[in-house]
Amino acid sequence: MKPPPRNTLTRTRADRQLLPSFWTEYISARTRGATEEVIGDAKAIFTAPVLQELQRHLSMEALATPFLFTEQLRNRVVAVSIGYRDNTQIVAVNARFKFDPEVMAHTLIEEYAHAQQRINGTDFDAQRRLYQYDDRPYELEAKRLATTVLGYEAPDYDARLIRDEHEDALGN
Amino acid sequence: MSTLVDKNVHISTERARRLEQLACKLATTEDVLIEQGLDLLFMKQDCPSESEADVEDDWQLLARLETENGPVPYNTRPIHKIDRDQIVSIVGATLDPSRIRRIDE
């Protein structure tokens, strides 16, 4: 068993990377239940130094992708980047789990990297057909960016399921 | 010592048989075993389960964070309905199933 997720940013590496207001939003969503209201974009998640570093790698368009908390995701996903037919995008975070702050920080950078990849025209389906999850170039690139920006690899923490998965849950 | 009262209850034949056997095996009375069983039941009722305690902790944490960082404008902002018919692609960070624990585990 891995260590349980920590409840606050304090004494985690995600402190000074994730905004305290973002963490409060997350605790609200997982406690009160997610409403799928749009919280903001990357500026409402990351602190100024992280945002500045992200701007070196990602476009303003990608970083302007809105995010929300949802109850609709499958158990097997922390968060997803969704692309619509009209070329708009959204980042959705699974509010049914307790995640560690460092896992959350890593994941959200990965999602914004996916938003950039979609803008760049990455063919996700083609890569899925060719590679297993861990070997997909778009996943490797997103994880690499998150590690570069945050300064640590995706950490190994348990995730605690708070509410059960919906019957018609969404996932990649 | 508490005052003893007579109380008639109905239990299944099987439970009655096992209660009698257990009392015999432990060299005690059925009354004592029922009292012990009730103590356990009452203790469970009096103490919140781990998951209930965990949820309570989250509410307390939320209250503290909202005091420090300002209240969350919960359910006051525009809702984005995820329109499944309009989705072209979903990509995301997956969770190793072996890492998932229920909060009461």
Are B89 and A125 an interchain contact pair (Cβ–Cβ within 8 Å)? yes
Per-residue pLDDT at B47: 57
pTM (whole model) above 0.90: no
Q: Mark yes or no for CB contact A83/B54 under 8 Å.
A: no
Chain B residues within 8 A of A107 when measuring between CB atoms? 93
Contact residues on chain A for B76, CB-CB shorter than 8 A: 37
The vertex-A49 CA angle with A82 and A138, nearest 5°, equals 35
Nearest to A172 among B62, B92, B97 (CB): B92
Q: Measured between beta carbons, which residues in chain B are less than 8 angstroms from residue A134?
A: none
Q: Which of B83, B85, B95 to mutate to test the interface with A (most CBs of A within 10 A)?
A: B95
Per-residue confidence (pLDDT) for residue A121, from 0 to 100: 96
| Alpha helix positions (H), chain A | 20-32, 48-55, 60-63, 101-119, 124-130, 137-150
Among the partner-chain residues A24, A86, A159, the one whose CB lies closest to the CB of B69 is A24
Pair A70, A101: CB distance under 8 Å: no
Query: Can you tell me the mean pLDDT for A63-85?
Result: 95
Q: Which residues pair with B101 in a beta bridge?
A: A160
CB pairs under 8 A between A and B: 152
The predicted structure's pLDDT at residue B101:
79
pLDDT at position A56, please?
Answer: 97
Whole-angstrom Cα distance, residue A71 to residue A92? Answer: 9
Mutation target vs B (from A71, A84, A139, A167; most B CBs, 10 A cutoff): A84
Identify the closest residue of chain B to A72 by CA–CA distance: B82
Q: Which stretches of chain B score pLDDT less than 50?
A: none
What is residue B12's predicted lDDT score, i.e. its pLDDT? 87
Q: Are B54 and B105 in contact (CB under 8 A)?
A: no
Do residue B92 and residue A35 have CB atoms under 8 angstroms apart?
no
Question: Domain residues of chain B, as ranges?
Answer: 10-74
Mean pLDDT of all residues belonging to chain A: 95
CA distance linking residue A61 with residue A4, whole number of Å? 35
Q: Are the Cβ atoms of A84 and B75 closer than 8 angstroms? A: no
Contact check, Cβ <8 Å, A23/B55: no
Q: What is the pLDDT of residues A8-33, one digit of tens each?
A: 999 999 999 999 999 999 999 999 99
**Chain B residues in contact with chain A using a Cβ-Cβ cutoff of 8 Å:** 54-55, 57-59, 61-62, 65-66, 68-70, 72, 74-84, 86-95, 97, 99-103
How is residue B46 written in tokens? 């009096």
Question: Which tens digit of pLDDT belongs to each residue from A49-64?
Answer: 999 999 999 999 999 9
Q: Has residue A137 got a pLDDT over 70?
A: yes
Contacts of residue A85, defined as CB under 8 A and 6 or more positions apart, other chains included, come to: B86, B87, B88
Higher local confidence (pLDDT), B18 or A46? A46
Chain B CB contacts of A36 below 8 Å: 79-82
